[in-house]
Structure 1
């Protein structure tokens, strides 16, 4: 027997009928008419292929199948009631929930401390976990609930997800302190001649936004190293003669190790987004979390 979405009210009615073993009392318990409940009992009998309740000396008596169903049905409905009650009564001050966020190391670096202060300040017993952003799996993770929020650039957020803007960002040029090139913004010729490192989320790519813009201009730069994290890019630049194009807030975090300059070409700004799956849209705990992150 397949239980469909619209069958839940019938199962609630069956639970009341088995508890009361009387249509009048069960109808009063459910706040429905006896006629409506009798119609539901008729549909239940068709669904289960069994009489379920038959006339007895003191009302109605459950059949053997109904007796087998009674306890598991009550338990399942009770668990559902507890889940609904918990959702409606979410209290950040007492919750021990674990919230999981996905993001690149850049998103974690610039936002994790502030998010932790906000969340932990109001929910002292909760836990906050970060997992590394994987563009191939993150939508499935959000849908199945293993990840609550995605923190990522707008270019990496699929349209199927709900999203809100956290901040606007732009790219800058970085080089190590004391670089032989000097301490002035690079010209376009210098930019193209220098050896660059870049960040590739998927790993192994040697092309990113600056390369696409340079191609439009009929130019190209020398990308000699591809790394899977912005932090590794910054640390590599800080200890070599390689240069890089990185988000400005990342450069700010490494200001003691690298110098930053404006780029000699125009690149589009980007937005850092908070994204989530539609299934979490009305979840009270999730609504609260999004408000704290925002």
Structure 2
């Protein structure tokens, strides 16, 4: 038996988009907000009449969130002690390539990145009682998340679909594997007024009918009340991280702890 495989190699070029607000006291120390800007483009063989993969939730809403948070930090006077980086990686959908490149060629030292907050495919289902954490219990950023959520009367929970391996499927992972504490968390499924069954059904409907499909498009009927609360949580965590002296770490049983500990001498 013999097999013949014909393959075509195509080279392409794409850019990460980065904005940095220099810290007032410790500009080499930084907090990173990330959200990939790429999606799947235009596919003529996708079937149906619409061939444009808009990526409204995956991940235009994450990009919008990062830009809004960046604008909020830029308006602060005085500026935070540490630098704030807005990182919009490319080619997340092609294997996390943009964030991988940045992690290999950082503009600011990774040993002095206090934490990464990654925003990817943020659910827009209205207000929820919970927040879903991928990689639950991995690092100290989760404690800051719990504190911020408490002011809204919300709680942090393990992700509802752990079998899908989300912690290893988005851009924060390329920082985690370099030892940088990284948080990938978003609104949960326990809807404030309609309950958990409703939220679970909404997420499942998105996954089945819109995820990585042309139908992932803007809907003027979206309820933004929940995602506004989510952005407030991300912002509050970043404000705390941006003050000098705070250095979150990995939990003792995390596979990323030893990598971070190896660079301890590079931090104050």
TM score, norm. by length of structure 1: 0.28
Q: Which has the higher helix share?
A: 1
TM, length-normalised to structure 2:
0.30
Asked which structure has the greater CA Rg, the reply is: 1
